[in-house]
Structure 1
Amino acid sequence: MADFNQILTDIKNQLGPLAEKDLKQFAGQGKQDAEAFLQESKTKLEQWVQQLANNEIDQDEFTFLVESQKAAAEMKALQAASAGTVQIEQFRDSVFSVIITTALTAVPGKV
């Protein structure tokens, strides 16, 4: 399996540009929220990536598990900065897409 810490680094490297594109003036808060979510979910994400690599779960199950965490991604800094609800939800969806795509790409034979 690919190094999980490298997967996290790859995800984090994509968050800044993603926040700039999706959030404009709220980019700093968006990146902060996304990184906080990654930190809070690190143990679960690592477990699911390992299960995916071991063929204990398939891509659909992995995607479902990751997306089931959307409610936990509260995006508090964006809410405090008064970013619009639609804007926050679109960014959160983009973050989850990056997480899923990056993890699937890192696990050999999954893309």
Structure 2
Amino acid sequence: MSSYYIFYTWILAGVFFAYYLLKHWHKLSLPPGSKSLPFIRNAFDLPSSHECLKYIDWGNKYGNVMHVTAPGKHIIILNSIKACVDLLEQQSAIYSDRPSLPMLHKPTL
């Protein structure tokens, strides 16, 4: 009788493990960044003080646009004025979640 409990416990653990892999093992098109650990991600890598010095160091290593993962969040760090202008001003229509309002651009509507 106890072998059934062990068997079903392993089945249940396998189902939860498969669910975790399917949920978290997706390949996003993200910029480069430091390697993250399972479950805690980059929680220990994120600076608590003197953030600018750490971001400059990461910028020299990974480039002007980099990615870190906090538990449950993806964080994109822009490390140069050119990267900020390119992504936030020139391509804002691609990355913005707000719909465009044609009444603001065409007063005749």
TM over 0.5: no
Structure with greater proportional helix content? 1
For the aligned pair, the TM-score class normalised by the smaller chain equals under 0.3
What TM-score does the superposition give when structure 1 sets the normalisation length? 0.22
What TM-score does the superposition give when structure 2 sets the normalisation length? 0.22
Structure with more contact order per residue of length (Cα contacts < 8 Å, sep ≥ 6): 1
Higher Rg of the two aligned structures: 2
Structure with greater proportional strand content? 2
